[in-house]
Amino acid sequence: MSDKPKLRIGLIGSGFMGKAHVFGFAAAPKVFDLPMEIELRTLADRNEEIAARAAADFGFGASTGDWRQLIEDPKIDVIDITAPNAFHKEMALAAVAAGKHVYCEKPLAPLAADAREMAEAAEAKGVKTQVGFNYLANPMLKLARQMIDAGELGEVRGYRGLHAEDYMADADGPFTFRHDPAGGGALADIGSHALATAEFLLGPIERVMGDCLTMIPARPDGQGGSRPVEVDDVGRAFLRFANGAQGSIEGNWIATGRKMQHDFEIYGTKGALAFSQERFNEAPFLFHRRRAGPAWLSPHRSRAGPSALWPLLRRAGPSARFQRPQGDRDRGLCRCHRGPRIRAVQLSLRIADPDAGRDDPAIFGRRAVDRRSSVKLETRRSAKFIGNPQYLLQKEQIGVLPWPARRLP
């Protein structure tokens, strides 16, 4: 039996997001050495029957049809709110007033003034809070912010952010709580993720010019009729950041064919970054460097993640030479038009070897000039992140190598 202190959870809501939170609570102690033991104490839902069934399925010790009982229970430490958006404010303020820590799904509230009131109440009470912006936990975003802060992109000129899915694309889909004007709409539901990512990468947003559109004006009400839809299906905004950067974001839940397009692109004077949550183990880094005189370099593109690896990696030391694979698939990734020097990209990876039961170091490099040549890459800098669980990227290095300039065929 563990001698760690217990962190006792009271969950409000057992729908899709409630299940996701329970999965996280169950998985966390199996992956991390947590300082506390998580106890799923009580689950609340809209009636006793639903709550009891969900509590049995999820492994909670008790259930209730009244969420206020969780607030009043002195043995509950954290109130986890996954109820519809319109109820977040009342539940969170009640939990804060009772001295509970609060984990609340996004958005905090439909109105900015309400969200500010919630945040100020928690600060005044001294309780800990967390909002469910889970995509910010992807280490690729942390690496992107480190590169931006280090000036590797130069002055940021533009930002494009997008969160698009298609779970509301069917016009015959029923009216749900997500269409409730008190807390629904694409901007609140998924556009909040796009805004959170923008601020995570580039800092506070100072000015906004937005446009919200309702593309499906009515939906079936489940009783043979229909209900008018007053919330947005698509929300777009132009942004100006406090650091001088400008850009745009979009939240769209009728984007046919998209399941999880949480994307961003950042353009700077020295380079650019691009990312898509639909390929969340990859982040193309596009670099453009100018030198004095007429010589110039075109962008170089590097992907981090399993799809970037050539089918067969040669394991060797840091100074190993690598031959680019044959074929046209990678043609044009590194191209030098003029000048005696080229810029090459090296990824140093540690690859999990299940057969050997250990991690073997390996170096992965892209050929820089033509298919018949190999390159020796130099170490310049390191940046750590975790992508696919099988891969730990230890170094993302940029080296400048002397080489006669030749065009690719």
Res 95 pLDDT > 60: yes
Residue 230's pLDDT band, with cuts at 50, 70 and 90, is very high
Cis peptide before 107 (omega within 30 of 0): yes
111 and 172: one domain? Answer: no
DSSP string, 289-336: -B-SSS-BB--EEE--SGGGS-SSPPP--TT--EEPPSSSTTTTSS-B
- Is 286 within the bounds of a domain? no
Buried/exposed code over 219-233 (b: 16+ C-beta within 10 A; e: otherwise) = beeeeeeeeebebbb
User: Which pLDDT belongs to residue 87?
Assistant: 94
Question: For 303-342, how does the pLDDT look when each residue is reduced to its tens digit (9 = 90+)?
Answer: 444 433 333 233 333 333 333 334 434 333 333 333 333 3
* Strand ordering across the sheet containing 101-104: 62-64, 37-44, 6-12, 78-81, 101-104, 129-131
In a shared domain, residues 386 and 334? yes
Q: Is pTM beyond 0.85 here? A: no
Domain boundary among 63, 97, 132: 132
Do 247 and 269 contact (CB within 8 A), yes or no? no
Tell me the percentage of the chain whose pLDDT exceeds 90.
59
Q: Could you say which of 83, 117, 132 is where a domain stops?
A: 132
Residue in the block written with tokens 């039996």? 1
The answer on 87 and 168 residing in a single domain is no
Q: Per residue in 40-50, pLDDT tens?
A: 999 999 999 99
Predicted local confidence at residue 110, as pLDDT: 82
Flag whether 285 is in a domain. Answer: no
Tell me whether residue 298 is in a domain.
Answer: no
Residue 142 belongs to some domain of the structure: yes
Find out whether 355 and 409 touch, Cβ atoms under 8 Å: no
Whether residues 347 and 379 share a domain: the answer is yes
Instruction: Report the percent of the chain where pLDDT is more than 70.
Output: 69
> 263, 279, 295 — which closes off a domain?
279
Q: How many CA atoms lie within 13 A of 207 on its CB side?
A: 7
For residue 383, being part of any structural domain is answered with: yes
* Same structural domain, 210 and 230: yes
The structural domain count of the chain equals 3
Residue 140 — pLDDT band, cuts 50, 70, 90?
confident
Using the predicted structure, report yes or no on whether residue 275 has a pLDDT greater than 50.
Answer: yes
Structural domain span for residue 349: 307-402
Asked whether residue 40 is assigned to any structural domain, the reply reads: yes
Provide the H-helix boundaries in 126-172. 139-149
Q: Please give the pLDDT value at position 41.
A: 97
pLDDT at 193 over 90: yes
Between 404 and 89, the higher pLDDT residue: 89
Position 182 scores a pLDDT of 83
